[in-house]
Protein backbone atom coordinates (compact mmCIF):
# COMPACT_ATOMS: atom_id res chain seq x y z
CA UNK A 1 0.00 0.00 0.00
CA UNK A 2 1.05 3.62 -0.39
CA UNK A 3 2.01 5.80 2.56
CA UNK A 4 -1.28 7.68 2.20
CA UNK A 5 -3.25 4.44 2.48
CA UNK A 6 -1.24 3.36 5.52
CA UNK A 7 -1.68 6.78 7.15
CA UNK A 8 -5.45 6.24 7.16
CA UNK A 9 -5.10 3.00 9.14
CA UNK A 10 -2.36 3.96 11.62
CA UNK A 11 -3.43 4.21 15.26
CA UNK A 12 -0.31 6.16 16.24
CA UNK A 13 -0.94 9.92 15.81
CA UNK A 14 2.79 10.72 15.93
CA UNK A 15 3.53 8.22 13.17
CA UNK A 16 0.50 9.31 11.13
CA UNK A 17 1.65 12.92 11.24
CA UNK A 18 5.14 12.05 10.05
CA UNK A 19 3.79 9.81 7.27
CA UNK A 20 1.50 12.60 6.07
CA UNK A 21 4.45 14.99 6.01
CA UNK A 22 6.45 12.45 3.97
CA UNK A 23 3.67 12.08 1.40
CA UNK A 24 2.92 15.81 1.16
CA UNK A 25 6.60 16.68 0.78
CA UNK A 26 7.56 14.11 -1.86
CA UNK A 27 5.55 13.21 -4.99
CA UNK A 28 7.52 9.94 -5.10
CA UNK A 29 6.44 8.98 -1.59
CA UNK A 30 2.90 10.05 -2.43
CA UNK A 31 2.74 7.76 -5.47
CA UNK A 32 4.88 4.71 -4.68
CA UNK A 33 3.45 1.62 -2.96
CA UNK A 34 5.54 -0.22 -0.36
CA UNK A 35 5.72 -3.88 0.56
CA UNK A 36 6.91 -5.24 3.91
CA UNK A 37 9.67 -7.84 3.75
CA UNK A 38 11.30 -10.13 6.29
CA UNK A 39 15.01 -9.82 6.93
CA UNK A 40 17.47 -7.30 5.54
CA UNK A 41 17.14 -8.09 1.82
CA UNK A 42 14.68 -9.28 -0.82
CA UNK A 43 15.75 -11.75 -3.53
CA UNK A 44 13.43 -11.59 -6.55
CA UNK A 45 13.30 -12.17 -10.28
CA UNK A 46 13.04 -9.22 -12.68
CA UNK A 47 11.06 -9.97 -15.82
CA UNK A 48 13.24 -9.42 -18.88
CA UNK A 49 11.48 -11.19 -21.76
CA UNK A 50 8.29 -13.26 -22.09
CA UNK A 51 8.41 -16.79 -23.56
CA UNK A 52 7.18 -17.50 -27.08
CA UNK A 53 3.75 -18.89 -27.89
CA UNK A 54 2.35 -20.40 -31.12
CA UNK A 55 -0.42 -22.37 -32.77
CA UNK A 56 0.24 -26.00 -33.74
CA UNK A 57 -1.25 -28.43 -36.19
CA UNK A 58 -2.52 -31.94 -35.47
CA UNK A 59 0.21 -34.28 -34.20
CA UNK A 60 2.75 -31.44 -34.19
CA UNK A 61 4.85 -30.49 -31.18
CA UNK A 62 5.30 -27.06 -29.67
CA UNK A 63 8.72 -25.43 -29.84
CA UNK A 64 9.96 -25.02 -26.30
CA UNK A 65 10.36 -21.40 -25.24
CA UNK A 66 11.21 -20.07 -21.81
CA UNK A 67 10.96 -16.50 -20.61
CA UNK A 68 14.02 -14.64 -19.39
CA UNK A 69 14.24 -13.41 -15.81
CA UNK A 70 17.18 -11.78 -14.09
CA UNK A 71 17.71 -12.65 -10.41
CA UNK A 72 18.05 -9.56 -8.24
CA UNK A 73 18.73 -8.85 -4.58
CA UNK A 74 17.69 -5.59 -2.94
CA UNK A 75 19.18 -4.74 0.44
CA UNK A 76 17.36 -2.53 2.89
CA UNK A 77 19.11 0.67 3.94
CA UNK A 78 18.81 2.48 7.26
CA UNK A 79 17.57 6.05 6.91
CA UNK A 80 16.59 8.43 9.68
CA UNK A 81 17.58 11.15 12.06
CA UNK A 82 17.07 12.72 15.49
CA UNK A 83 15.18 15.92 16.27
CA UNK A 84 16.24 17.63 19.51
CA UNK A 85 14.29 20.36 21.29
CA UNK A 86 16.10 22.30 24.00
CA UNK A 87 14.70 21.88 27.51
CA UNK A 88 14.85 25.66 28.09
CA UNK A 89 12.02 26.09 25.61
CA UNK A 90 9.70 24.48 28.17
CA UNK A 91 9.92 27.79 30.06
CA UNK A 92 10.21 30.14 27.10
CA UNK A 93 7.39 28.92 24.86
CA UNK A 94 3.69 28.59 25.61
CA UNK A 95 3.31 25.16 24.03
CA UNK A 96 6.45 23.05 24.34
CA UNK A 97 4.89 19.95 22.76
CA UNK A 98 3.84 21.98 19.75
CA UNK A 99 7.44 23.15 19.38
CA UNK A 100 8.64 19.54 19.56
CA UNK A 101 6.09 18.60 16.92
CA UNK A 102 7.41 21.39 14.68
CA UNK A 103 11.00 20.16 15.10
CA UNK A 104 9.92 16.61 14.23
CA UNK A 105 7.92 17.82 11.23
CA UNK A 106 10.99 19.64 9.88
CA UNK A 107 13.06 16.47 10.31
CA UNK A 108 10.39 14.49 8.45
CA UNK A 109 10.43 16.97 5.56
CA UNK A 110 14.22 16.71 5.33
CA UNK A 111 14.02 12.91 5.32
CA UNK A 112 11.36 12.88 2.58
CA UNK A 113 13.43 15.21 0.39
CA UNK A 114 16.58 13.14 0.94
CA UNK A 115 14.71 9.97 -0.03
CA UNK A 116 13.47 11.71 -3.17
CA UNK A 117 17.00 12.71 -4.14
CA UNK A 118 18.18 9.11 -3.65
CA UNK A 119 15.26 7.81 -5.76
CA UNK A 120 16.90 9.52 -8.74
CA UNK A 121 20.58 9.97 -7.82
CA UNK A 122 21.29 7.26 -5.23
CA UNK A 123 24.53 5.40 -5.98
CA UNK A 124 25.45 2.45 -3.79
CA UNK A 125 28.89 2.18 -5.42
CA UNK A 126 29.88 5.64 -4.15
CA UNK A 127 28.01 5.42 -0.83
CA UNK A 128 27.11 1.87 0.31
CA UNK A 129 24.67 3.34 2.84
CA UNK A 130 22.38 4.48 0.00
CA UNK A 131 20.20 2.47 -2.35
CA UNK A 132 20.65 2.79 -6.10
CA UNK A 133 18.36 5.33 -7.76
CA UNK A 134 16.94 5.38 -11.28
CA UNK A 135 20.07 6.91 -12.82
CA UNK A 136 22.08 3.89 -11.64
CA UNK A 137 19.41 1.37 -12.65
CA UNK A 138 18.11 2.51 -16.03
CA UNK A 139 20.12 1.32 -19.05
CA UNK A 140 19.70 0.43 -22.72
CA UNK A 141 16.35 1.28 -24.28
CA UNK A 142 15.13 2.77 -21.00
CA UNK A 143 17.47 5.75 -21.45
CA UNK A 144 16.61 8.05 -24.35
CA UNK A 145 19.05 10.78 -25.36
CA UNK A 146 17.73 14.02 -26.81
CA UNK A 147 20.85 14.46 -28.94
CA UNK A 148 24.54 13.60 -29.04
CA UNK A 149 25.37 17.09 -27.79
CA UNK A 150 22.00 17.75 -26.19
CA UNK A 151 18.85 19.12 -27.83
CA UNK A 152 15.64 20.96 -27.06
CA UNK A 153 12.62 18.98 -25.95
CA UNK A 154 10.01 18.10 -28.58
CA UNK A 155 6.83 16.03 -28.74
CA UNK A 156 8.50 13.02 -30.35
CA UNK A 157 11.07 12.75 -27.55
CA UNK A 158 8.40 13.04 -24.89
CA UNK A 159 6.17 10.47 -26.59
CA UNK A 160 9.08 8.05 -27.01
CA UNK A 161 9.86 8.30 -23.30
CA UNK A 162 6.28 7.52 -22.33
CA UNK A 163 6.14 4.66 -24.85
CA UNK A 164 9.30 3.12 -23.36
CA UNK A 165 7.34 2.29 -20.19
CA UNK A 166 5.19 -0.84 -20.19
CA UNK A 167 1.55 0.20 -20.26
CA UNK A 168 0.94 3.76 -19.12
CA UNK A 169 3.25 5.57 -16.67
CA UNK A 170 1.73 6.76 -13.42
CA UNK A 171 3.58 10.05 -13.64
CA UNK A 172 6.21 12.16 -15.35
CA UNK A 173 8.78 13.56 -12.89
CA UNK A 174 10.75 16.71 -13.63
CA UNK A 175 11.94 20.02 -12.23
CA UNK A 176 10.11 23.33 -12.59
CA UNK A 177 12.29 24.56 -15.45
CA UNK A 178 11.62 21.34 -17.37
CA UNK A 179 7.89 21.78 -16.88
CA UNK A 180 8.20 25.27 -18.34
CA UNK A 181 9.74 23.73 -21.48
CA UNK A 182 6.65 21.53 -21.81
CA UNK A 183 4.10 24.27 -21.19
CA UNK A 184 5.93 26.47 -23.72
CA UNK A 185 5.69 23.76 -26.38
CA UNK A 186 2.09 22.74 -25.76
CA UNK A 187 0.49 25.85 -24.29
CA UNK A 188 -2.34 25.89 -26.84
CA UNK A 189 -2.61 22.13 -27.32
CA UNK A 190 -5.40 19.90 -26.05
CA UNK A 191 -2.77 17.31 -25.14
CA UNK A 192 -2.20 19.32 -21.97
CA UNK A 193 -4.82 19.18 -19.24
CA UNK A 194 -4.93 19.02 -15.45
CA UNK A 195 -6.03 16.74 -12.64
CA UNK A 196 -5.74 16.58 -8.86
CA UNK A 197 -3.29 14.59 -6.75
CA UNK A 198 -4.08 12.58 -3.61
CA UNK A 199 -4.23 15.76 -1.51
CA UNK A 200 -6.46 17.66 -3.93
CA UNK A 201 -3.65 19.76 -5.38
CA UNK A 202 -4.02 20.65 -9.04
CA UNK A 203 -1.33 19.20 -11.33
CA UNK A 204 -0.76 19.38 -15.07
CA UNK A 205 -1.05 16.31 -17.29
CA UNK A 206 0.49 15.47 -20.65
CA UNK A 207 -1.47 12.93 -22.73
CA UNK A 208 -3.28 11.99 -19.54
CA UNK A 209 -0.08 11.37 -17.55
CA UNK A 210 0.28 13.58 -14.44
CA UNK A 211 3.35 15.83 -14.29
CA UNK A 212 4.78 15.83 -10.77
CA UNK A 213 7.35 18.44 -9.84
CA UNK A 214 10.55 17.49 -8.05
CA UNK A 215 11.99 20.53 -6.29
CA UNK A 216 14.93 21.01 -3.89
CA UNK A 217 16.54 18.41 -1.64
CA UNK A 218 17.09 18.80 2.11
CA UNK A 219 20.10 21.05 1.41
CA UNK A 220 18.06 23.35 -0.89
CA UNK A 221 19.81 22.06 -4.02
CA UNK A 222 17.57 21.42 -7.02
CA UNK A 223 17.29 17.65 -7.52
CA UNK A 224 16.46 17.58 -11.24
CA UNK A 225 18.41 20.62 -12.35
CA UNK A 226 19.82 21.53 -15.75
CA UNK A 227 23.33 20.66 -14.59
CA UNK A 228 24.08 17.48 -16.54
CA UNK A 229 26.57 17.03 -19.38
CA UNK A 230 25.74 15.58 -22.79
CA UNK A 231 28.56 15.58 -25.32
CA UNK A 232 29.80 19.13 -25.81
CA UNK A 233 26.94 20.59 -23.75
CA UNK A 234 28.64 20.74 -20.37
CA UNK A 235 26.57 21.27 -17.23
CA UNK A 236 23.53 22.68 -19.06
CA UNK A 237 21.36 19.62 -19.78
CA UNK A 238 18.48 18.12 -17.83
CA UNK A 239 16.46 14.91 -17.53
CA UNK A 240 12.86 13.89 -17.01
CA UNK A 241 11.45 10.50 -16.04
CA UNK A 242 8.38 8.42 -16.84
CA UNK A 243 7.61 5.94 -14.04
CA UNK A 244 5.07 3.20 -13.46
CA UNK A 245 4.52 1.87 -9.94
CA UNK A 246 3.13 -1.46 -8.79
CA UNK A 247 3.75 -3.72 -5.80
CA UNK A 248 5.82 -6.73 -6.93
CA UNK A 249 5.06 -5.83 -10.55
CA UNK A 250 6.77 -2.58 -11.52
CA UNK A 251 8.60 -0.15 -9.19
CA UNK A 252 7.77 -0.28 -5.51
CA UNK A 253 9.33 0.51 -2.18
CA UNK A 254 10.65 -2.09 0.25
CA UNK A 255 10.54 -1.77 4.02
CA UNK A 256 10.70 -3.87 7.16
CA UNK A 257 7.69 -1.92 8.42
CA UNK A 258 6.31 1.59 7.94
CA UNK A 259 8.70 4.28 9.11
CA UNK A 260 9.20 4.31 12.85
CA UNK A 261 8.85 7.38 15.06
CA UNK A 262 9.92 7.30 18.70
CA UNK A 263 9.88 9.78 21.54
CA UNK A 264 13.16 9.15 23.38
CA UNK A 265 12.37 11.66 26.11
CA UNK A 266 14.92 13.83 27.89
CA UNK A 267 18.56 12.99 27.28
CA UNK A 268 21.04 12.45 30.10
CA UNK A 269 23.97 13.85 28.11
CA UNK A 270 22.26 16.94 26.72
CA UNK A 271 19.56 19.31 27.98
CA UNK A 272 17.18 18.31 25.21
CA UNK A 273 14.17 16.16 24.48
CA UNK A 274 14.74 13.88 21.48
CA UNK A 275 12.46 12.36 18.86
CA UNK A 276 13.75 9.87 16.30
CA UNK A 277 12.65 8.93 12.80
CA UNK A 278 14.02 5.68 11.38
CA UNK A 279 13.15 3.67 8.32
CA UNK A 280 14.62 0.42 6.95
CA UNK A 281 13.91 1.03 3.28
CA UNK A 282 14.90 0.58 -0.37
CA UNK A 283 13.26 0.31 -3.79
CA UNK A 284 12.88 -2.57 -6.25
CA UNK A 285 12.36 -2.63 -10.02
CA UNK A 286 10.39 -5.78 -10.85
CA UNK A 287 9.97 -5.06 -14.57
CA UNK A 288 12.74 -3.70 -16.79
CA UNK A 289 10.27 -1.34 -18.52
CA UNK A 290 8.97 0.15 -15.28
CA UNK A 291 10.62 3.51 -15.96
CA UNK A 292 12.39 5.51 -18.66
CA UNK A 293 14.70 8.51 -18.57
CA UNK A 294 14.94 11.24 -21.20
CA UNK A 295 18.31 12.95 -20.83
CA UNK A 296 20.36 15.55 -22.68
CA UNK A 297 17.56 18.13 -22.80
CA UNK A 298 18.70 21.71 -23.30
CA UNK A 299 16.77 24.87 -22.43
CA UNK A 300 14.74 26.44 -25.22
CA UNK A 301 16.01 29.96 -25.88
CA UNK A 302 14.01 32.41 -23.80
CA UNK A 303 12.31 29.72 -21.67
CA UNK A 304 14.10 29.79 -18.30
Which of 48-53's residues contact partners 24+ apart within 8 Å by CB, and which partners?
48/288
**Interacting residues of 290 by C-beta distance below 8 A, sequence separation 6+:** 165, 166, 243, 244, 245, 246, 250, 251
Taking only the tens place, the pLDDT of each residue in 220-268 is: 999 999 999 999 999 999 999 999 999 999 999 999 998 888 999 999 9
What domains appear along the chain, each with residue ranges and CATH number? 1-49+71-304 (3.90.1690)
What pLDDT sits at residue 213? Answer: 97
Which H or E run includes 2? none
Taking only the tens place, the pLDDT of each residue in 12-71 is: 877 888 888 889 999 999 999 999 999 999 988 877 777 888 788 888 887 877 777 778
d(CA 226, CA 204): 21
pLDDT at 289 over 90: yes
What pLDDT sits at residue 287? Answer: 92
**Does the global pTM surpass 0.85?**
yes
Amino acid sequence: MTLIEYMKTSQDPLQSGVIETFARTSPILQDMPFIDIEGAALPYNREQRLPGIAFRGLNEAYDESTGVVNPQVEKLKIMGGDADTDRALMKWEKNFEERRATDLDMKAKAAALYFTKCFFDGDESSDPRQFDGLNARLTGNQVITAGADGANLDQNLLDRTIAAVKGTPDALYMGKKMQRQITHLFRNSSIMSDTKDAFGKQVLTYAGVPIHLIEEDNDDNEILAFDETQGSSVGVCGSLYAVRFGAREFICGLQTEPLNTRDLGELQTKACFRSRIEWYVSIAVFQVKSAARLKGITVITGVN
